[in-house]
Amino acid sequence: MSETSTYTVVGMTCGHCVASVSEEVGAIAGVENVDVDLASGRVTVTSGSPVDEAQVKAAVEEAGYALAPTA
């Protein structure tokens, strides 16, 4: 059964940004799919098992962006 988590990334402004975030988050072990919406900054991660938010945060930062604080 797949797990889905949604995050908000700040600082993305173009298609290259989307590709960078998708590539870095997609490299996390267990991640099956990454859907990035540039307009909203939403990143939806589908994985075979739960992914640690710290790993997603690190991947987003590696791409040069930041996760928005969760409410």
The full set of domain ranges for the chain reads 3-67
List, in sequence order, every residue forming a beta bridge with 1; answer none if it has no partner. none
Identify whether the C-beta of residue 17 lies closer than 8 Å to the C-beta of residue 66: no
CATH architecture assigned to 3-67: 2-Layer Sandwich (3.30)
Q: pTM to 2 decimals?
A: 0.91
Pairing of strands 42-47, 3-10: antiparallel
For 19-69, write each residue's pLDDT tens digit.
999 999 999 999 999 999 999 999 999 999 989 999 999 999 999 999 998
CA distance to 15, 39, per residue, from 43 (Å): 14, 11
What is residue 69's DSSP assignment?
A: P
